[in-house]
Amino acid sequence: MIIDIILPLSLIFIMFSLGLGLKIENFKNILMYPKAFILGLLNQMLLLPVITFTLVIIFNLSNELALGMMILSCCPGGVTSNIITKLSNGDIALSISYTSVVSLITMFTLPIIVGFSSTFFMAADAPTINIYKLGLTMFIVTTVPVSMGLIFNTKFKSFSKYFYPIANKVSTLLFIIIVFGALVSEWSTFVDNIFTLGPCIVSLICIMIFIGYKSPKLFGIDSVKAKTIAIESSIQNGTVGITIGNLILNNTEGLSVLSLPSGVYSILMYIVCLPIIFFILRNK
């Protein structure tokens, strides 16, 4: 029940809270800073899956864990990347623009990449994936709540301004409960795979932070936007990954093995990513 009902509902609320922080003006940033936006979008939507694909082969992950890593690489940044951008003195408006647009695009890209990865890594053992159903699921759990939050914030600004901080706190709490609850339910599996998944995940985070920060410099993009691109390139929404992994390969109890990389990532992301961002990027 927790995995099948509470997890998707929690994700819908988290994405709704993201929408509450959006304004129509946020999308205008795409036109104002096209170079920074396009570069960040390419890093997150194209380069991140390619590097993930390369790393899972280099680290020789099992087929199921490799597919789980590819699911993770397709996830949008979510509220977490927006909060971290704010705390690291990045470009908040640009970060929100990334998150909102990527959340919409993911509805199309995630089913395609996951469908290909499933066939490539698992071949005859690949779980049955209905790309249209998966795309519809992404639409329901990400696009619809984000859009509803945006509409709500546009039509009821006074209440939205009051409710948004509360929604953010609730979203953070739900995120913590989902990640730790999932790991506790499959703790032995987590322990068995931490030394297998850990090096691959840490490598992915560090590579994407480095590329995300250095690539804008090649195009004359300032440090504030470069920090934002680095954060958006390296931080994914682990809750989406856990949800999708369980929808594809649903266990009768506990966490799907396809969700395990997203669960492990959600922990390591804070341990690895935050120190780099706050102690190095924040001061640049």
The tens digit of pLDDT for each residue in 150-175 reads 888 888 888 788 888 888 788 777 76
Task: Give pLDDT, residue 283.
Answer: 61
Interior angle at CA 173, CA 172 and CA 179, nearest 5: 90
Task: Give pLDDT, residue 112.
Answer: 87
* Closest C-alpha among 26, 15, 9 to residue 149: 15
| Alpha-carbon torsion, ordered 189, 191, 192, 197, to 10 deg | 100
Is the C-alpha dihedral spanning 128, 130, 136, 138 positive or negative?
positive
| Residue 230 CA neighbour count, 13 Å, CB half | 31
Which CATH number is 2-283's, of 1.20.200.10, 1.20.1530.20, 3.40.50.1110, 3.40.50.2300? 1.20.1530.20
Task: Give pLDDT, residue 201.
Answer: 93
Please write the tens of the pLDDT for every residue from 4-50: 566 677 777 877 887 787 777 766 767 777 888 899 999 999 999 99
Q: Is the pLDDT of residue 184 over 80?
A: no
Please write the tens of the pLDDT for every residue from 57-109: 999 998 889 999 999 998 887 667 777 777 677 787 788 778 778 877 887 88
The secondary structure of 164-182 as a DSSP string is HHHHHHHHHHHHHHHHHHH
Task: Give pLDDT, residue 183.
Answer: 61
Q: Is the pLDDT of residue 221 over 70?
A: yes
Q: Is the pLDDT of residue 203 over 90?
A: yes
Task: Give pLDDT, residue 9.
Answer: 76
What percent of the chain has pLDDT above 90? Answer: 15
Arithmetic mean of pLDDT, 259-283: 75
Task: Give pLDDT, residue 186.
Answer: 57
Mean pLDDT estimate for the chain: 80
Q: Is the pLDDT of residue 190 over 70?
A: no
- Cα distances from 76 to residues 39, 45, 166, 222, in angstroms, run 15, 9, 22, 23
pTM for the model: 0.78
Residue 131 — very low, low, confident or very high, per pLDDT cuts 50/70/90?
low
Task: Give pLDDT, residue 50.
Answer: 95
Question: Residue 226 CB: number of other CB atoms within 10 A?
Answer: 24
Arithmetic mean of pLDDT, 171-199: 73
Amino acid found at 240: V
For residues 19 and 127, the model is more confident at: 19
Task: Give pLDDT, residue 99.
Answer: 76
